[in-house]
Amino acid sequence: MSLVLGVDSSTQSTKAVLVDATDGTVVAQRSAPHPSGTAVDPRAWLTAFDEATDGLLDRADAVAVAGQQHGMVALDAAGEPVHDALLWNDTRSAGAAHDLIAEMGGPDACASALGSVLVASFTVTKLRWLRDHEPTASARVAEVLLPHDYVSRHACAPGTDAFTDRGDASGTGYFAIAEGTWRHDLLAAALGHEASLPRVAAPGAVAGRTAAGQVVAAGTGDNMGAALGLGLGPGDVLVSVGTSGVASCVSATPVADGTGTVTGFADARGGYLPMVTTMNAARILDHQARWLGVDLATLSDLALVSEPGARGVTLLPYYGGERTPNLPGAVGTWTGLTDATTREDLARAAFEALLCSLADAVDHLAGATGEEPQRIWMVGGATRSPALQALAPAILGRPVTLPPPGEYVALGAARQAAWALAGTPAPPTWHLADTVELTTGLTDGPTSYVREGYARLRERTATWS
């Protein structure tokens, strides 16, 4: 039996799963935490990788790393960080995003060149921020990597050149998605000088080897890894409820949305992964539980006692700014509070706000691709909540499929490792068992007024940032 190791180097932790390469069965797994914050010393990820893979890596025939997208890992000529890595959810570069879009000729020109309109999440905006605010550090930058590139090289034998894949590269802001090539000119314009970039390994390729000779695959971004782990196919939409909220689907053709709502990423298989992302998802529930002084299980119980529409209470949950819509300076906004408002209503409003935000994302995705979703997959820790499961089909307006609990980003990395190990034209087929279809509320009458109330508040506060 061949074993492969898939690693998810996420915002919060490193998760490693050791998998049977034949059928995708997980035989062992470990994890290690990351430091909190939106700016992190990237060397902490290497320590977490070593801890999470201890005892697993030496059992594997191949390994791949999927990591959080967009993070800026800026290194000097000796390979040492010149600055903490700015993560995807660090919005200090919002002004830089506006400047860079203008320099490219506006949003439509930006989308045409890159497949996406820049927002503060993209790596290139963080490089411009570094140039403008930390010029001494900026001048020392000799190489720019993404988080998964940095960890992948650490897994390889010393002296291995850095590598990436087109999926994660498509979130940098200096990669031409349609051509599949780096735009070195855009990186230099942002940073103020040229810097080395990793080679882009082909899908399914052997990108390197460990010191012990094990195959190292190209790795990819976390969203691309999740799509690969679930075996996302045509007509599927994946909704991920993590720190951020993400709706994505696979496509044979690139998307270039000049409004900036849909980001036109590449995927890990040679196709494309158009995506809509929110900055606020599961933490909406975390905040509400903390403010009500309850745990998440009790928050769910409270929400189910209230009624659809939370008796008129509506929340716009832009607590950390927002990416869709692009309002990096926005704040959370509540409306409809009265003397009769209960704890149950406040809990219900939080769940409804989360799901309305995700429903908007699914609608934007369908509009950009011209394809109505045939099946919605929902993943993420928050999906274990009974309230989220009960409310999701009605607010999303479609049945929702829950795969069995699992680390799908890490599983996607493992599938990529198995693909590179096998050397086949396509990744191995791994079947998911024990999926659950949710249909609650779809036959109980229309609940469109929940989304309508959310939309009214969203439009009313559209310029509050």
Number of C-beta neighbours around residue 372 at 10 A: 11
Task: Fill in the amino acid letter for 155.
Answer: A
For the record, the structure tokens of 80 come out as 């040492």
Among residues 8, 222, 345, 360, the one annotated as catalytic is: 222
Reference 300, options 335, 233, 351, 337; nearest CA is 351
The three-state DSSP-derived secondary structure of the chain is CCEEEEEEECCCEEEEEEEECCCCCEEEEEEEECCCCCEECCHHHHHHHHHHHCCCHHHCCEEEEEECCCCEEEECCCCCECCCEECCCCHHHHHHHHHHHHHHCCHHHHHHHHCCCCCCCCHHHHHHHHHHHCHHHHHCCCEEECHHHHHHHHHCCCCCCCEEEHHHHCCCCCEECCCCEECHHHHHHHHCCCCECCEEECCCCEEEECCCCCEEECCEEHHHHHHHHHCCCCCEEEEEECCCEEEECCECCCCCCCCCCCEEEECCCCCEEEEEEECCCHHHHHHHHHHHCCCHHHHHHHHHHCCCCHHHCEEECCECEECCCCECCCCCEEECCCCCCCHHHHHHHHHHHHHHHHHHHHHHHHHHHCCCCCEEEEECHHHHCHHHHHHHHHHHCCCEEECCCCCHHHHHHHHHHHHHHHCCCCCCCCCCCCCEEECCCCCCCCCHHHHHHHHHHHHHCCCCC
Number of C-beta neighbours around residue 340 at 10 A: 9
Residues 6 or more apart whose CB falls under 8 angstroms from that of 195 comprise: 74, 141, 142, 143, 144, 187, 188
Q: How many residues does the chain have?
A: 465
Confirm whether 222 is a catalytic residue. yes
Residues 6 or more apart whose CB falls under 8 angstroms from that of 149 comprise: 67, 73, 162, 163, 164, 168, 198, 219
- Residues labelled catalytic: 222
